[in-house]
Structure 1
Amino acid sequence: MSAAPSYKGLSGEALEREYNPRLAAPDFQAYLDAQASRATSTRDALAGSLDVSYGDGPLQTLDIFPAKTPNAPVHAFIHGGYWRGLDKSFYSYIAEPLVAAGATVAMVNYDLAPKLTISGIVAQIAEAVRWLHANARQVGGNPDRLYLSGHSAGAHLAAMMLARDWAAEGRPADIVKGVVAVSGVYELEPVTMLKVNAEIGLTADEAARNSLAANPPRPVCPILVAVGGGETPDWIRQSADFAKLCRKRGLATDYWEIGREHHFSICDRMGEARHPLVRAMLAQMGL
């Protein structure tokens, strides 16, 4: 019998415990339900345009909550869900403190795995960035003040935008002016060994092609790499290693381990105007 595949000495149930946030936070559904309810209240309270198409895919849509004043910075949030689940509609509440401070906010959806490969999802996020840059003024924003944040798989997708050669596409090399990456997974090899990969369909080649080691960020903007201090040790290590890579590549990099927040509770903090994580998001935008 062949040995179970391993990653950095982790295999089987030990690997599952490190890389399955729903095992690490067994009350995850209560968080998701509360966040979805809070997000619904936000959409009821904020003026905005929902499900604005930025591409041909059925889920290539944005919920846009404009600032009250024109020429505002534009902040795009990319949701997680291991590339195969969840939706922007769970996280509308993240827009509330940002809009209140003067930002136009876009909540980004994308077509999910296994319908799309991770490479295909990365390409869709790039389409979203191009759309927001081209249409910023129509939504009350400034195309020269475009910022990204993401949680979990969304943090990976935001980080992948820093590896892209935008100038080769005829766009500003620094089209993205700042990134906040929260509790991300940046090396994808362990995901191929998880039970959830039956839903994701991630191959070893796709994992290697879309890991940040193979797509190092370009030194075009500052980045905050944040992770919940209550995440599992190897999940935290991935964030610490990615922050080291960013510094090595010349990005102005902050690295934060935040309290005892776990993979789901940290999203609550992203909707709290006075939390240091939100204040850092605003500071990147000069707000």
Structure 2
Amino acid sequence: MDLHDWPGHELTDAELDVAYNVRAKAGDELFPRHMARYREMSDAAVDGLPGRPGIVYDDASGEALDVWGIENIRGGESTGGESTGGEGGRLRPVFVFVHGGYWRALSRADSAFMARMLDGDGVATVVPDYTLAPEATLEEIVRQVRASIAWVYRNGREYGLDPDRIVVGGSSAGGHLTGMTMVGGWQDALGLPADVVKAAMPFSGLFDLRPLQRVYVNEWLGLDVERAAAMSPELLPAGHRCPAVVTVAEHDGTGFLGQSRRFHRHWGGSAELMVVPGRDHFDVVLDLADPASQVSQALLGLIRSV
């Protein structure tokens, strides 16, 4: 494989910036409104919702995660199974959501807007933080996110989470990190089954990072072509090909649209491609707060299938 021969390598740096600079595409007025909605909708979703915020999942980094929608499981219904635990209650399937922000912004506090919707369908939500770039390398960020999956698998029962029904999703950079939990080759070192991630739903993800060497994002990532390839889900062994809904917005950046289409093809028959009409890079994932939305119904369908 020629690491320099990636889709779009013939574009100029200015053309690549247009393809991947979705903040500029949104504009100075709309972008901050989107960011404010992430926090406002997350605050509203978890207000009064039973949960356990601030659990340290990784001793090496000290990073923490929040668990939402875990109370009232005793004797209650869960989606898609009969597992029991949590002092006799039924274990809930769990959606692990990994936030975006081009690996250098946002946090778990901005990223729980789907928790109430999922709780209404008997599903718990886990939202991990990770150390942001450039304080952490991309390799370290990937390690941390994988460690959060290991924490759910090992400790989930204590919180009413079913370790055998883990579904992972994330937006933008979080879509890339979702992809890095879908691929094979990392689970053994953490003592996890190859199919620990039972299904996945990356939103507006980045699955081949080689183009990012030539755009402004590399100011804080510092990637060369070899490291970019090693951190690219599309270029790594797939391992267990879990069911996936590869999701992207109709009005997304052209780079994200192209990458989602290529990753869908790469993942094969276990993947569905969903291009959400009328949405852009930042608001498509916020539809997860609405149980009737196309993306919520797709996510619930994935969860019910595992």
TM-score, length-normalised on structure 2? Answer: 0.86
Match of 2:194 in 1: 173
2:305 matches 1:284: no
Alignment of 1:1-287 (within 5 A): 7-26=8-27, 27-56=30-59, 60-67=63-70, 68-69=72-73, 70-165=90-185, 166-167=187-188, 169-247=190-268, 252-286=270-304
Separation in 2 of the partners of 1:219 and 1:58? Answer: 28
Give the secondary-structure state (helix, strand or coil) at the position aligned to 2:114: helix
Question: Matches of 2:204 and 2:182 in 1, distance apart?
Answer: 17
- The one-letter code sitting in structure 2 at the alignment partner of 1:259 is P
Distance in 2 (alpha carbons) for counterparts of 1:278 and 1:159 = 19
Query: What is the CA–CA distance in structure 2 between the aligned matches of 1:255 and 1:72, rounded to whole Å?
Result: 27
Contact 2:183 2:236 in 1 (8 A): yes
SS at match of 1:238: helix
Q: Distance in 2 between matches of 1:103 and 1:92?
A: 13
Shift of 1:167: 4.2
- Take 2:126 and 2:39, find their aligned partners in 1: how far apart are those partners? 17
CA shift, 1:202, in A, is 2.8
1:221, distance to aligned residue in structure 2 (A): 1.7
1:262 deviates by: 0.8
> Match for 1:193: what amino acid?
R
The Cα offsets for residues 21-72 of structure 1, whole Å up to 9 and x where unpaired, read as 1011111111111221121222323121111100135562111103332311
The residue identity in structure 1 corresponding to 2:19 is E
Structure 1 residues 258 and 135: alpha-carbon distance in aligned structure 2, compared to 1, 3 A threshold? same
| Residue deviations 1:71-108 (CA, integer Å, cap 9, x gap) | 11011000011111111111211211111110111011
Q: How far, CA to CA, are the matches of 1:168 and 1:202 in structure 2? A: 25
Aligned CA-pair RMSD: 1.8
- Corresponding letter in the other structure for 2:287: R
Deviation of 1:214 (Å): 2.6
Structure 2 gaps, min length 5: 1-6, 74-89
Q: Give me the whole-angstrom Cα distance separating, in 1, the residues matched to 2:247 and 2:11.
A: 23
SS at match of 1:135: helix
1:131-155, Cα deviation, whole Å (9 max, x unpaired): 0001111111111111101111111
* Cα deviation, residue 205, structure 1: 2.7
Q: C-alpha separation between the residues in 1 aligned to 2:274 and 2:175?
A: 14
Q: Is contact 1:150–1:181 with CA below 8 Å preserved after alignment?
A: yes
Whether the 8 Å CA contact 2:94–2:162 is kept in 1: the answer is: yes
Residues 169 and 90 of structure 1, relative CA distance in 2, 3 Å threshold: closer
Amino acid at match of 2:216: K
Gaps of 5+ in 1: 1-5
* Mapped partners of 1:255, 1:161: distance in 2: 18
Larger mean Cα displacement after TM superposition, 157-166 or 184-193: 157-166
1:48·1:63 contact (CA, 8 Å) conserved in 2? yes
Amino acid in the other structure paired with 1:141: L
Q: 1:269, 1:278 within 8 Å by CA — same for their partners in 2?
A: yes
Tell me: CA distance 1:16–1:90, structure 2 relative to 1, closer, same or farther (3 Å). Answer: same
Task: Give the match's secondary structure for 1:270.
Answer: helix
Amino acid at match of 1:29: P
Which residue is equivalent to 1:3? Answer: none
Matches of 1:193 and 1:57, distance apart in 2: 32
**Could you tell me whether the CA contact under 8 Å between 2:92 and 2:122 is conserved in 1?**
yes
TM-score by length of 1: 0.91
TM-fit CA distance, 1:9: 2.5
CA distance in 2, matches of 1:157, 1:275: 24
CA distance in 2, matches of 1:176, 1:12: 36
For residue 160 of structure 1, what is the amino acid of its counterpart?
Answer: M
Give yes or no for contact 1:151–1:181 (8 Å, CA) kept in 2: yes
Q: Residue 280 of structure 2 aligns to a residue in which SS?
A: coil
Question: What residue is the counterpart of 2:83 in the other structure?
Answer: none
The alignment partner of 2:96 has SS state of: strand
Segment of structure 1 superposing worse, 109-118 or 8-17: 8-17
